[in-house]
Amino acid sequence: MRTAVVVGAGIAGLAAAGALARSGWQVTLLERADRIRAERTALVLWPNGVRALRALGLGGGLDAIATTLPDAGVRRPDGHWLVQPRPTVTERAPVVVHREDLHDALIAGLGDRVEIRTGVTVRNVRATAGERPAVGDGRSTLEADLVVAADGIDSVVRRRLAPESTVVSSGCAAWRAVIPWYRAPQLPPDRPVGGETLGAGYRFVVASLGDRGSSGASTRGGIYWVATAAGASRPEPPETQLALLRRWYADWPAPIGELLAATEADDLIQQEVRELRPLPREYGFPVGPGGFVLLGDSAHAMPHHLGQGACLAFEDAATLQAVTREAVPGKALCAAIESYSGLRRPRTATMVRQTRRLAAVLQTRGRLALRARDVALGRINPRLMGSAATAAAQWEPPA
């Protein structure tokens, strides 16, 4: 029986554990928290992420929980259009899903070959030539043929295997919230719920999770918003942070003010935006009869500007499933681990490069630079976003 340990039970770890289990692996899933839970927010999945979920066999219920994200254009804080809305091409449009809905789908896909252990903090990594890979919490050691590091941007496993890659600030912080429909403001029917507003170092993105009063499979519908501001994360309590957001975005066009007014402090989730620089040189590390792989944010954490973090994690899981499906411990598994690294490293490097190009545009500050950006954004944004969308869409699951 082939065995695997997956470190981290976020969406990346859940996807990887389920993928391996459905391929015949016996999996132990380790989570440092006392229970597995999802954030009460949402995320955007681009077509490559949707394609990866379908390759993982998890596409069946996706349609019931996903809402197509229309192209609603980009405005300035004064309401003027930087990029006019364009017709939505459904097959190329991203979708938005509630994280708790997606989490439920991933949990349901684990099957009976996954043992979940909570309250386990990995502190030690054994990557010794000739021995099976292993991780430990300081009290006990767990060996396996394959160890998957899905333990996020602060990955203990990555720090041991790829110490050249360090965590740095992206120079901004983000706040997310989902306002449930029963508290969401009533908006005029001619005002679509969605779109992006872009200012000097500030950004506000809005998306609808389903339709008000719809009777879909999800009971977690509402309006999802993300606010991004240049600078460090705020240490104040959520009530104070929400007051700051209302002040910062007070003069921005509707429905931003209405959405912030309807948001409660308990809805608010702050995220310090960080990234890996440089990326690890490898994502696969053969050791003994098997080895380690890096997956998700542990491999390629990046700013959220393109919404590709979760998508790339699902690509990672689908690729890992494909290359290890028939691999047995020994030369075959070591070769599969090297193949995984060879497939994923160039792909993620491309998407990180696209994200950093967009970040340079989005975080423009200063009156002259901002004016130049606004003049050019009608050309830059479609070209840059189109290039990023094309790069994302080019991904196909390995045979």
pLDDT one-digit tens code per residue, 111-147: 999 999 999 999 999 999 999 999 999 999 999 999 9
Cβ atoms of residues 302 and 310 within 8 Å: no
Pairing of strands 114-118, 124-126: unpaired
The single residue listed with the structure tokens 């309006």 is 223
CB 260 within 8 A of CB 202: no
Instruction: Name the strand (E) or helix (H) holding 276.
Output: strand 269-277
The confidence score (pLDDT) of residue 30 equals 98
Of how many residues is the chain composed?
399
What pLDDT is recorded for position 382? 53
Q: How far apart are CA 158 and CA 197, in angstroms?
A: 36
352 touches 311 (CB < 8 A): no
User: What own/partner pairs with CB < 8 Å and gap ≥ 24 does 115-119 have?
Assistant: 115/27, 115/28, 115/29, 116/9, 116/29, 116/31, 116/36, 117/28, 117/29, 117/30, 117/31, 118/9, 118/31, 118/32, 118/33, 118/34, 118/35, 118/36, 119/31, 119/32, 119/33, 119/34
Spatial neighbors of 399 by CB under 8 A, at least 6 apart, are 322
Residues 170-226 have pLDDT tens digits of: 989 999 999 999 999 987 766 667 889 988 889 999 999 988 866 444 568 999 999
Report the pLDDT value the prediction gives residue 217, as an integer from 0 to 100: 44
Query: Collapsing DSSP states into helix, strand and coil, what is residue 325?
Result: coil
Amino acid at 251: D
What is the rounded CA–CA span in Å between residue 311 and residue 54?
12
Q: What is the pLDDT of residue 298?
A: 98
Beta bridge partners of 117: 30
pLDDT of residue 192: 64
Predicted model pTM? 0.93
- Cβ–Cβ under 8 Å, residues 390 and 44: no
Identify which of 39, 38, 88 has the alpha carbon closest to the alpha carbon of residue 67: 88
Q: Specify the pairing of strand 222-230 against strand 202-209.
A: antiparallel
Name the strand (E) or helix (H) holding 143.
strand 141-143
Name the stretches of the chain with pLDDT < 50: 215-217, 370, 373
What lies within 8 Å, CB to CB, of 185 at 6+ separation is 255, 258, 259, 261, 262
pLDDT number for residue 249: 96
How far CA 242 is from CA of 221, 237, 296, in Å, comes to: 21, 9, 30
